[in-house]
Chains A and B, each alone.
Chain A
Amino acid sequence: MKQTGAEILIATLAELGVDTIFGYPGASSLPIHDCLRESPIRHYLVRHEQAAAHAADGYARATGATGVCLATSGPGATNLVTGIATAYMDSTPMIALTGQVSTNLLGSDAFQETDIVGITMPITKHSFLINDVSLIESTVQEAFEIARSGRPGPVLIDLPQDVMAAVVTERITANRPSPKKDHYTSEETIDRLKKIAKHLNNAEKPVILIGGGIKLAQAFDELQELVEKGQIPFVSTMMGIGSLKSPHDLNLGFIGTHGNEPANHSIHRSDFILAIGVRFTNRSTSIVEEFAPLATIAQIDIDPTSIGKNIKADLSAVCDIRKALGILSPLLEHKDRREWLSRIKKKHELMERDDKSNGCGAAGLVVQKVQENMPEGTIGTADVGLNQIWTLRNWRALAPRTLITSGGMGTMGFSLPAAVGASVGKNRCPVIAFTGDGGLLMNIQELATVGFYQLPVKIVLFNNGHLGMIRQIQDLWYGARFADSYLGNHMNFTAIARGFGLPAAHVSAENPEAGIREMCASDGPFFLEVEVDCQNYVYPIIPPGRSNVEMIYDKAT
């Protein structure tokens, strides 16, 4: 049977379970698009390649499956770069397919030629340039294996046009070196876990710190069992949010610069921290010298380079997190920690009572009201900046994978395309894309995609005419000199959204109810512009160079 390279590619992708690709065509990738047209794989046409990468990322974060994006050579490929880096920083399993000029033109500065393998080397887990049609099947299989095994990450496959167009009469499969096996459940690892369990049992004031690794290992049930059995309070990093039922009694919120006060305080006073799937980034720890000064720190991660990378780990185990928690839970003893629990929970409850918006003002309450009006299971995506913190502090992730944000990279413009991917991945599930006026403009073209496919993506734009978080930083620590953070109030975003064909409404953060009701009653896409005061900041916040417990509550302090 005659087959082209592109046909082999698509057949292999389908065999690997790929049902969706987000992409944008160009001359070099045309053989692939031509073949996709009649394949069982659904191609979603985004309006900018960066959005294709973010959508594949959002798809992967919402489903746990590997996301796939496709771009043409040259500018198509380079437009993916921010999206690939975003996926890399948050360890999303993703495959980026790029068209490439024909092999005989490689290195000739041909039209739309770029060395995308070279450009993306530091931001991919691995990459391939396929220069032989016989290597397509095995390379794609290997790429998927690499993307989703161990600590997941993006893998790029560069596909020259002639290799995609080449015709073979039979499908040849070449042997390639098999990827590394994980060797992490050795006797030694089990001993290390036993030692961690012993310390945890002896601890008076233990805290479990969870990171993005819980989601990546699909260890939701195991984590729930661990915290409940040990009655151990837990906190998370930004990426750890949504790894457990958030309204859980033992959940103290997330740590770091913009985190929850009880979370930061519990870490500071704890005598033992079990860190699972975290890398202790500077946004989580603030100054490392004063992070968890009283605690013995145990770290479990599948990536050996994460152990002790930023914070010294007194105990550690390199292991698949799901397996590790399965070994740890049975070793936990019931212990009376009522005093420790009541002390930190009391503070938590007092704070919640005193400020219903969690330090986010009217904007934070909007997030809560939106969620109250949406069906259970609605996914929230947050962009970057104040809108991100308002969302993370106020959206209750009632199930795993229902709150999605760019944590490590902090990519503005992420939430809208990620919402497209999440909705598509979860069978057209409703998704709220929270964003700000700065972030929206970075990928505003995706309003066209949302309208074109009539996806139930509801964009909540917090419009404060500013780069709000930058403004807050300038207000607090740059003598209120607002350099280049004023975007202006001259734009009519509601009219722009309508111009893209979306129903839209405009409300104020103080009186948002009518708009929220209208948005939540609509089945398809909706655009809600919420006008927010530019001084609606987030408090408490940790000043630069200070520890996690030196937070300030207003400009005066």
Chain B
Amino acid sequence: MQEREHIISMLVNNRPGVLSRISGVFGRLGYNIKSLCVAETMNPDVSRITLVSRANSNFTEKIKKNLDKLIDIVEVKELDRGESVSRELSLLGLVLTADNRPDILRTVDLFGCRILSITDNYVILAAIGTGEETATILNYLKAYEIKDLARTGAIAIEKGGGSRD
């Protein structure tokens, strides 16, 4: 069966051990987590987890049912790409030289990157984009030395406030 990326969005009770139970379900069913992002929602008792996993189409039903059984999961959904928006934040640290400085700093104009910190020989850029846009930026910059990279992985929500009903 064809493998593809699935975005799973969950609302969970903000209690200790919840993430461990969720990752336990993925581990037991043999699925790898590609990216994972967790933060509190407007209600501090509830956190949102956005998780990306590559798997075949059996995945959604199996994983959703098993996640839904966890006591601390309030809601679990697979997000449809057309019906949701998703972004990823990347922080990139690059060594600046006289030669590469103009090309690297051009990413601010080309891709809307922001400069978070800069010294004579080192810059930290922030890039926000979809998965595809992030791949494009990384592709452009890989010609230079990316010394450090931190990515949030995708965060996503449904258009039209899907999770409120």
Contact = CB atoms under 8 A, between A and B. Distances in A.
B21 A121 contact: yes
A177 B13 contact: yes
Given A179-B71, A304-B68, A305-B66, A118 B20 contact: yes
Given A121-B21, A121-B24, A177-B45, A126 B71 contact: yes
B142 to A, nearest CB: 40
A528 B62 CA distance: 48
A279 interface: no
A462 B70 CA distance: 42
A117 B13 contact: no
Nearest to B13: A177
A117 B62 CA distance: 25
Interface in A276-306: 303-305
Nearest to B73: A180
A146 interface: yes
Given A121-B20, A122-B24, A305 B69 contact: yes
A125 interface: yes
Which of A126, A127, A129 lies at the interface centre, i.e. has the most chain B CB atoms within 10 A of its CB? A126
B30 to A, nearest CB: 14
A358 B150 CA distance: 67
Contacts of A117: 17
Nearest to B71: A126
B112 to A, nearest CB: 40
Nearest to A180: B71
Contacts of B72: 126, 177
B65 interface: yes
Interface string B70-90: 111010000000000000000
A146 B71 contact: yes
Count class of interface residues, chain B: 10 to 19
B17 A122 contact: no
Given A146-B71, A179-B71, A304-B65, A122 B13 contact: no
B69 A122 contact: no
Contacts, number: 30
Contacts of A122: 24, 28
Interface residues of A, number: 15
Interface string A105-132: 0000000000001100110011101000
A376 B28 CA distance: 44
Contacts of B13: 177
B69 to A, nearest CB: 6
A303 B24 contact: no
A428 B45 CA distance: 46
B20 A125 contact: no
Interface string A233-266: 0000000000000000000000000000000000
Contacts of A118: 20
A117 B16 CA distance: 11
Nearest to A306: B65
A121 B62 CA distance: 19
Interface in A453-511: none
Which of B28, B62, B69 lies at the interface centre, i.e. has the most chain A CB atoms within 10 A of its CB? B69
Nearest to B15: A177
Contacts of B20: 118, 121
A304 B67 CA distance: 11
Nearest to B66: A305
A180 B66 CA distance: 14
Interface in B60-118: 62, 65-66, 68-72, 74
B65 A125 contact: no
B22 to A, nearest CB: 11
Nearest to A155: B71
Nearest to A143: B71
Interface in B8-41: 13, 16-17, 20-21, 24, 28
Nearest to A175: B45
A305 B21 contact: no
Nearest to A305: B65
Contacts of B68: 304
Interface string A84-119: 000000000000000000000000000000000110
A118 B74 CA distance: 22
A13 to B, nearest CB: 20
Which of B17, B65, B66, B71 lies at the interface centre, i.e. has the most chain A CB atoms within 10 A of its CB? B71
A146 B21 CA distance: 16
Given A117-B17, A118-B20, A177-B13, A125 B71 contact: yes
A456 B26 CA distance: 46
Contacts of A146: 71
A146 B74 CA distance: 15
Nearest to A177: B13
A127 B72 CA distance: 11
Contacts of A126: 70-72
Contacts of B16: 129
Contacts of B71: 125-126, 146, 179-180
Contacts of A127: 17
B106 to A, nearest CB: 49
Contacts of B69: 303-305
B78 to A, nearest CB: 15
Interface string A298-322: 0000011100000000000000000
Which of A122, A127, A305 lies at the interface centre, i.e. has the most chain B CB atoms within 10 A of its CB? A305
B165 to A, nearest CB: 14
A305 B13 CA distance: 22
Contacts of B45: 177
Given A177-B45, A305-B65, 20 more contacts: A121-B17, A121-B20, A121-B21, A122-B24, A122-B28, A125-B71, A126-B70, A126-B71, A126-B72, A127-B17, A129-B16, A129-B17, A146-B71, A177-B72, A177-B74, A180-B71, A303-B69, A304-B65, A304-B68, A305-B62
What 7 A-B pairs are tightest by C-beta distance, nearest first?
Answer: A126-B71, A305-B65, A304-B65, A177-B13, A305-B66, A121-B24, A146-B71
22 contacts: A118-B20, A121-B21, A121-B24, A122-B28, A125-B71, A126-B70, A126-B71, A126-B72, A127-B17, A129-B16, A129-B17, A146-B71, A177-B13, A177-B45, A179-B71, A180-B71, A303-B69, A304-B65, A304-B69, A305-B62, A305-B66, A305-B69
